[in-house]
Structure formats: C-alpha cells, structure tokens
Chain A
Amino acid sequence: MTLLLAPLPEKGIGLPHDASLHGWRIDALINETSVYVGLLFVIMVAWVVLACLRHGPRHEARFDHGTSTRSIAVGLCIAGAIFFVVDGPLFVNSLILARDVFGNFAKVEADPKSVRIEITAHQWAWVARYAGPDGKFNTPDDIVTFNDVVVPEGTPILFQLVSTDVIHSFNIPNMRAKIDAVPGMVNRVWFEAKETGEFDIACAQHCGLNHYKMKATLTVLPRPDWEKWAAEASANSARDYDPDDREAHWGWDWSEHARI
C-alpha cells in the first residue's frame, strides 16, 4: 500500500522534486532569474579580469571623472535596463502568481472538492484536524492526526494554521508551500498535489531545542483511497470521542478566517 512508502530521497544539487500542480511556476521564476543573474555576474568578473590584464601598471590611466552627460546617461540607462529586464519579471510574475495561484484563496474555497485542514503547531509537532462528514470543526466526527497529514491527489488542499507556543513555519518543500504558524493569529496556505507518495513536512522557523525534529509526513493518496481513509478515520474518532477530554477539543470556525 502507498502508505508504507517512505519519502523518496533526492538526487544531486537542485530544487527538490516538485510534486505540486503549481510549484513549477516558482521553479521557472527562480531558474529564469538565475540566467540573468549568472550573466550579470560573469560580465562583471570578466570586466574586472580584463581591466587587470589590459590596464595594469604599464597602462597610462585616463584622466576622466566620468561626469560627462553622455557617460552619466549611459550609466543610468544600463541600471534602468537591468532593472526592467531582471527585476521586472520577478515583480510582475510575483503579482500574477499571488493573484491567480498562491494567494487565490477565493477560487479554492469555492471549489466543492477542496479539502480543509486545521493545523495546530506546538513544540515540537504538527497536529492536523479534518472537519469530517459534517463539515464542521471541533465536533465528534473530526479526524485528528499527529505528525501525519493525509491528502488526496489532484485536489486543492487548504490549511489554516495556529501555534500554541512559539512561532513555527509549516514547510512542504516538495509542494513549494510554506507559511508561518504564529501564536494569536490564523494563517493559511494551499497547494494541490499532482502525484501520490510520501513527502516531508518540516518546520522552517527556529522554534527551540527540537526544531530540527519537528517533522511530519505528508501522504498523498489517490482520491478514492483517500475517501476511504477519511471515512474510516472519521468513524474511528467518532467512536473514540471523549466529551471530557477538554485538551482534545480544539478547532475554530473555518469561515471566519476564510476570506480577507
């Protein structure tokens, strides 16, 4: 069964395997920027090396303060051109991606297939809560898992996060998803997995002694398998529900934090 697979190791230096539907957009922007940045750096180094070789002690220095209108104009034009060519795409694409993809919560909230998960981060674990069949959080049919998040493939997965102690950061590198979990506020993030398998969930914000071990597993199942898992897990938790265990009764009204 898929659940028994461990997260796959990566090979070589490079971005970790992208298992999300939209992660490639971030990767493409990173790689495209790398081309420009690499080019600028090579030009700079070549310029300095050439200057050292050609304009050494035997070369007579030119008496030039670089203050002619033409010289200043050339400098300003180059700086402006680099800004528009290199910074421009980063800015525009970040705006577009925020509007259409990573920040487009309206669309995923409206999608009836979306799966909603509430996460409570604490030193040093991730506790996940699913609403169960009634669609309401903090009810007996909720599924609660510990360091173990199970989601369906090909479906938008929405998270709302809080922290009960210090600041943590919910980080799933293979899904290109990351958001801080901050005490006193509810943050949110979403992604859609395009393939099944197991992946690491990490904490990205230093949160104390065992920060490095604040690790959970993300399991992506085919939608029908996940439906089966969810139904079973929900039935189990309804059966095990203890009305007196106050500590276990957390969760908040999703819709209150669903739109901004």
Chain B
Amino acid sequence: MQVIPSEERAAHEELQPIHHEPKSFFFKYLWSLDHKMIGRQFLWAGLGFLLVGGLLAMMIRWQWAFPGKPVPVLGSIFLRSQGGAIGPATYMTIFTMHGLIMIFFAITPVLIGAFGNFLLPLQIGARDMAFPWLNALSFWTFALSLVFVILSLFGELGAAGAGWTTYPPLSTNVGTPGSGQTWMVAAVFVTGVSTIMGGINYVTTVIRHRAPGMTWMRLPLATWGLWLTAILNVLFVPVLGSAALLLLLDRLFGTQFFIAGATASVSGGGDPILFQHLFWIFGHPEVYILILPAWGIVSDLLSFFSRKPANWYRGTVYAMIAVCVLSAMVYGHHMFLTGFTPLLGQSFMLLTLIISVPAELLFLNWLRTVWQGSIRLTTPMLFSLGMLFVFGMGGLTGLYLGATATDIYLHDTMFVVGHFHLTMAAASFVASLAAIYFWFPKMFGRRMNETLGKVHFWITLVCLVTVFSGQLLAGYSGQSRRLYDPYQYTFLKHLLGVNRVASYAAFLLLFAQFIFIYNFIRSLIAGEKAESNPWQVSTLEWFTASPPPYHNYDRIPTVLRGPHEFADPEVRRRLGRDFIGQAEELPEAMPPAVASAG
C-alpha cells in the first residue's frame, strides 16, 4: 500500500480550510458559495424547465396525432386566441423552444449543473469547488439566461421559430423578424457564458483538489464523465458563443455574416453555411457533452448494483477520452447534404464510423460488468439498465446517419429525430433519473420510495421506447421532421396511425412523471431518513453524513484504492461485507463483533 506523506495531507488541509456556514437567508440559499446548494439551485431550475420543455413536446405530439384540433387543457390556457388549436406559426415556435429549452435549459443544468456541482467535490474528497464565487456567478448567469428564455416565450411575433439549430438566413430578420428569436439567441449566448464558467471551475477543481491518494485512475467514472464534459464545454461552447454573437449582430445591427448575396430578394456577402460549421463544431461535441456524464454515472451504478468491480476501468476511461477527441472531428455528418465536396463528406463519414469502436468498448464493459455479478434491481439500477437499452437503440440507429449513402434518404427525416432523442434525450433523461434516485439520500438525507420508483421506471421506459421507435419508423417511411401537418403529402398519409400510437405513449410518459414528482416531494418531506451509506457502496461521498456538512469532510480523506472495490474475498474475510470504501483502511483481522454476527 502506498503511503501518503503527511506534508501532502497538510497541504490539502491548508488549501481548503473549513469555512463557517453562512446563516442569513441570502447567503445560504441565494448567493450561496456551497457547491451542494448551487447544485440544488441548478436541479430546481433544470427540473422546472424540463417540465416546460416536456409540455411543449406534448403539444407537438398532439399536433401530429390530431392535426389542427384544439389542444386539451394547454390549448385553452396558452392558445386561446387561436381557438385552442396550434397554427403553423405557433407550431414552429413550439418545436424550436422545445429543442432549445430541453438541451440548454433542462438536461444541461440537471446533468452538468446539478450533478456536476454536487458530485465533483464530494467524489474527489474536496471541501468545495476551486472557485466557489465563480460557481455562484455561473448559476446566476444561468438564471439571467432563463429570464431571456421567458422573455422569448412572450416575444412580439411569438417565440423563436427557426428550429433549435437556428440556421440562418431563416434565423436572421429575413426569416424570423420577431423579438422572440433575438431573446433566444441571446439566451443561448448567456447560458454559454455560464457553462464556460462552470466548465473552467470543474476542470480546475478535479486537477487541483483531488484528495491525497486520489490518482486519476481512482476517480469514480461519474467524475471522469463530468470532467471530460467540462473540458468539451470549455473548448466548444465558445464556438457556439461566437456563432450566436455573429447572429445577434446580423439581427440587431444589420451585419451580413450569414446572409449570402447572389440572390434576388436578399443582398449580402456572407455565407449561411459558415454558421452551420460553427454550430456543429459545437453541436456534435454537445451530444457527447450531454451523454458523457450519463455514461460515467451509469458505469458506476452498474458496478455498484452488480456488487462487482467495473470491468476494465481503464478501458472505459480511455474509451470516453477517445470519444471526446473524436467528437470534434465528426461534425460534418450533419452537413452531408449542404453541397460538401465528396472527399470532405467521406472523411467525416470515416471519422464518424470510427466513434463506434470506443462506443462498443463502453458497451462491452457495461455488459461484462453485470455478468457474473450479484445484481440488485433497485430503482437506480433499473434506470441504469434502461439507459443501456435506449442508448443502445440510439447508438445503433446512428450508423445509418453516419454513412453518406444511407444519409441521402434519411437526412432531415423523423429517423434523425428518433435517433438523437434516444441518445440525447432518452438516455440523458433516464441517466438523470438514475442519478436522482441514487444520490437523493445524499442530497437531502432522506430516501425515495422504491415501489413508486419502479412503477415510474417501467412506464417511463416503455413509453420512451414507444415514442422514439414511432419516430424512427415514421422517418424510415419518409416523414420529414418539423412538418406542421405531415399528412399534406400523399406518401405520408398512412403514417397517422403510427404517429398517434407514439403520441398516446408520450401523453402516458408525461403522466408517469407525476408519479416521480409526487415521490420526489413526498420523500423530501416525509421520506425515510437515510444513513450515510444506504446503498452500501465505496465512493467517498458515501462516507460522510447524509446530507454532508457544509464543508463536506471534517478531515480530508486519504484515498487508498479505486472506486469499485466489490466482492473482494479478502475484504469479506476481514470486514464481513462485500465492499470497502475508497478511503477505508482494511483492518488486519476481522473485528470480533462482526465475526460473531457473520
């Protein structure tokens, strides 16, 4: 066993002294510097906007199932002037706002804002983020962007309507002159600033504040996922920021960065394709930004609930790093039909297909982790296995879209929509739920109801798969995305049935989330009190109180081993249990009390 010099421990204690917990409401709940509170702030904001984005999705599903018919409930509240029905202009703002809200203002704050903040310092044995003040600034900048989103929703001429991809010239004043579009581009820019601040903080914290003995290859995989995501954010969100800024200049000051000349009604010397390059240089890493934390979390949970070490830990880490490196080099597959030279398209195709190798390694590691385990099908475990299921579907359907030949037919169809919803939406959402069920006791000191959790899981999984399979099938049959009324086309008329089934599943999916909301609130108030380590797992955060004290650890832990030490016969012999904590010393012999009990 390696020995940590006492000077190193002392240096860590000096670097992160214990601060007193603020008592005033303002400093405790609003301008809090505590990463756990900031994580909770992100969680509430993210879950709130997840509901907004979800309701928008329900309206889209309603339109595909019952085109032009008044929307029940939501229609009579929000669409009264149109008789409760969705018109084409409203429709385009609905799908645009759905996409932007879900990606930037729901999944990002929940997975990265909430769990990144909550977990990173705890899992590496730190007392807080490297820059607590920047962390608070990051949340409040994010809150400002939420104000912009709300302003957009009530914008003159409606909210943003150019699609979440915001392609110019449609997203310039040429196509969407309303202030809603401007507010939304500004919101994306501001939330980008918040994400960059958070990213710098996460990257620095993991580099600088790892507890003594917490080597890179002992980090929990959730931390690896969140840390790699932070790096991608720091590298690529600025690119999105530049695109958003240039677009704002086009909209507000009459520049023409993205408006091309050589046309009759529009003058200009810019290039609309330039925006697509900037957008997708960010946009493709973005899908990994949203899925890497999910991969990391699920990698850990599969090991925890199989009571078995994660299979080939280093392989999982290397695969995630490989995906990060490749993520920046594949974005061109979003642009196969823009008139690329064939050589460029083919290069991007090769790089895109190569990403399947690390993805396969991840899957093999997950499958081999659960094999020969001692599987406990708890709610977090069910959601983790559910992530394998939906991400498997999403990943495999990506193959068709990465190849230039098959993409000719499938590009811009609902097949693409089904594919990216399974990966970015379903997989991230299911992993977020796994994380909430798993870390709830640590965050709030109480346990969630397992039965309700399992009911929530099964309805959610079945509905997610039905909704997005429906999209895959509709796209395979030729339905283009973003159509207000697909049935205008003769070759799509027969797809009404498939779309309806998917819509019914979507409505049921929404209903199932109320089970979750009920369980969440009830557990928050009256849930069973959780002890420090209710799941009997090995990472550092489970060896401090639930919820942890303001300073996380009274004494900064000294890490002795990796994060997945389960089923070690030596540990079982000496401790009488199947796991040992990362910072727990293995006693020389079994304590007599345990020996007699066991």
On chain A, the residues within 8 Å of B261 by CB distance are 184
How far, in Å, is A2 (CB) from chain B's closest CB?
16
The answer to whether A67 touches B396, judged by C-beta atoms less than 8 angstroms apart, is: no
B260 touches A260 (CB 8 A): no
State A162–B368 Cα separation when bound (angstroms). 52
Do A185 and B273 have beta carbons less than 8 Å apart? yes
In the bound complex, do residue A200 and residue B489 qualify as a contact, i.e. CB atoms below 8 Å apart? yes
Interface residue ranges of A1-38 to B (CB < 8 Å): 6-17, 23, 25-27, 29-30, 33, 37
Contact indicator per residue, chain A 121-141, by CB within 8 Å of chain B (1) or not (0)? 011000000000000000000
Q: Least Cβ distance of B299 to chain A in Å?
A: 12
Residues of A within 8 A of B373 (CB): 51, 55, 59, 61-62
Partner of A9, one of B346, B376, B404, B493: B493
* Chain A hits for B176, CB < 8 A: 208
Q: For the complex, give the distance between the alpha carbons of A210 and B175 in Å.
A: 12
**B409 lies within 8 A of A165 (CB):** no
A226 interface residue, CB < 8 Å from B? no
A57 and B306 alpha carbons, distance in the complex (Å): 9
Evaluate contact between A94 and B491: CB separation under 8 angstroms: no
Whether B271 contacts A184 by the Cβ 8 Å rule is yes
Q: Are B272 and A182 in contact (CB under 8 A)?
A: yes
Q: Mark B342-382, 1 if CB is under 8 A from A, else 0.
A: 10011001100110110011011101111111111100000
Q: Digit string of B564-585 for contact with A (CB within 8 Å is 1, else 0)?
A: 1011110000000010000000
Whether the Cβ atoms of B566 and A173 lie closer than 8 Å is no
- Whether the Cβ atoms of B174 and A204 lie closer than 8 Å is no
- A245 CB to closest chain B CB (Å) equals 13
Pick from B170, B312, B389: contact of A75, CB below 8 A: B312
Q: Are A212 and B484 in contact (CB under 8 A)?
A: yes
Please name all residues of chain B whose beta carbon is closer than 8 Å to the beta carbon of A200 when the two chains form the complex. 489-491
A62 and B310 CA atoms in complex are apart in Å by 11
Interface majority SS (helix, strand, loop, mixed), chain A: mixed
* A239 vs B220: C-alpha distance when bound (angstroms): 78
Output the nearest chain B residue to A62 by Cβ-Cβ distance.
B372
Chain A residues with CB under 8 A of B365: 66, 75
Complex alpha-carbon distance, A213 and B92, angstroms = 13
List of B residues within 8 angstroms of A147 by Cβ: none
* A95 in contact (CB, < 8 A): yes
Say whether, besides A29-B405, A30-B406, A184 and B272 are in contact (CB < 8 Å): yes
A58 to B375: give the CA distance in the assembly, Å: 9
The interface residues of chain A lying within 8 Å CB-to-CB of B266 are 164-165, 183
Q: Are A167 and B169 in touch, CB under 8 angstroms?
A: yes
Shortest beta-carbon distance from A5 to chain B in Å: 11
Residues of A within 8 A of B568 (CB): 63
B357 close to A80 (CB less than 8 A): yes
With A33-B400, A206-B482 as given contacts, are A87 and B409 in contact (CB-CB < 8 Å)?
A: no
Given the interface contacts A26-B408, A55-B372, does A164 sit within 8 Å of B337 by beta carbon? Answer: no
A251 at the binding interface (Cβ < 8 Å): no
Of A11, A12, A64, A184, which contacts B263 at CB under 8 A?
A184
Given the known A-B contacts A44-B363, A48-B367, A72-B315, are A94 and B406 also in contact in the complex, defined by CB atoms under 8 Å?
A: yes
| Inter-chain contact B260/A184, CB cutoff 8 Å | yes
A67 in contact with B272 (CB, 8 Å): no
Residue A260 contacts which of B341, B385, B402, B564 (CB distance < 8 angstroms)? B341
Residue B162 is within 8 A (CB to CB) of chain A in the complex: yes
**Do B400 and A10 touch across chains, with their CB atoms under 8 A apart?**
no
Chain B residues lying within 8 Å of A60, measured Cβ to Cβ, are: 374, 567
- The answer to whether A169 and B412 have CB atoms under 8 Å apart is yes
A-B contacts at CB below 8 angstroms, number: 319
In the complex, what residue of chain B is closest to A170 when comparing beta carbons? B337
- Contact A47-B367, Cβ < 8 Å, known A71-B312, A215-B488: yes
On chain A, the residues within 8 Å of B315 by CB distance are 66, 72, 75
Contact B337 A179 (CB under 8 A): yes
Of A17, A44, A57, A204, the residue contacting B480 (CB under 8 A) is: A204
Residues of A within 8 A of B480 (CB): 171, 202-204
Pick from A51, A94, A174, A183: contact of B169, CB under 8 Å: A183
- What 1/0 mask marks residues of chain A from 157 to 187 whose CB sits below 8 Å from any chain B CB? 0000011111101010110111110111101
Residues of B contacting A122 in the complex (Cβ-Cβ under 8 angstroms): 265
B265 adjacent to A67 (CB under 8 Å): no
Q: How far is the CB of A7 from chain B (nearest CB, A)?
A: 4
A17 and B261 CA atoms in complex are apart in Å by 38
Residues of B within 8 A of A72 (CB): 312, 315
Q: Is B163 part of the contact surface with A, judged by Cβ < 8 Å? A: yes
Contact (A204, B399) CB under 8 Å given A162-B263, A173-B478? no
A16 touches B494 (CB 8 A): no
| Contact, CB under 8 Å: A25 / B260 | no
Is A56 part of the binding interface, using a Cβ–Cβ cutoff of 8 Å? Answer: yes
Residues of A within 8 A of B405 (CB): 25-26, 29, 90, 93-94, 97-98, 102
Partner of A209, one of B92, B400, B412: B92
- Assess A7 versus B260: contact at CB under 8 Å? Given A55-B306, A182-B273: no
Q: Which of B264, B392, B481, B491 makes the CB contact (< 8 A) with A10?
A: B491
Q: Tell me if A110 is interfacial: C-beta within 8 Å of chain B.
A: no
Across the interface, do B477 and A14 meet the contact criterion of CB distance under 8 Å? yes
Proximity string of chain B (165-209) to chain A, C-beta cutoff 8 Å, 1 when within and 0 when not: 001111000111000000000000000000000000000000000
Give A183 to B265 CA distance when docked, in angstroms.
10
Does B498 reach chain A (CB closer than 8 Å)?
yes
Which residues of chain B have C-beta atoms less than 8 A from A63's C-beta? 308-309, 566-569
A52, closest chain B residue (CB): B375
Extra 8 A-B pairs, beta carbons < 8 Å, given A15-B476, A208-B170? A41-B392, A65-B310, A66-B315, A76-B361, A90-B406, A178-B337, A212-B488, A247-B264
Residues on B lying within 8 angstroms of A by beta carbon are 88-89, 92, 161-163, 167-170, 174-176, 259-266, 271-273, 306-315, 337-339, 341-342, 345-346, 349-350, 353-354, 356-357, 360-361, 363-365, 367-377, 385, 388-389, 392-393, 396-397, 399-400, 402-406, 408-413, 473, 476-478, 480-486, 488-495, 498, 564, 566-569, 578
A and B contact pairs by CB, cutoff 8 A, 15 listed: A29-B403, A33-B399, A33-B400, A37-B399, A51-B367, A65-B309, A65-B311, A75-B315, A91-B353, A94-B346, A95-B346, A122-B265, A166-B174, A211-B483, A215-B489
Binding site for B on A (CB under 8 A): 6-17, 23, 25-27, 29-30, 33, 37, 40-41, 44-45, 47-48, 51-52, 55-67, 71-72, 75-76, 78-80, 82-83, 86-87, 90-91, 93-95, 97-98, 102-103, 122-123, 162-167, 169, 171, 173-174, 176-180, 182-185, 187, 199-200, 202-213, 215, 247, 250, 260
Across the A-B interface, the 6 shortest Cβ-Cβ residue pairs: A184-B260, A66-B311, A61-B567, A90-B403, A7-B490, A204-B412
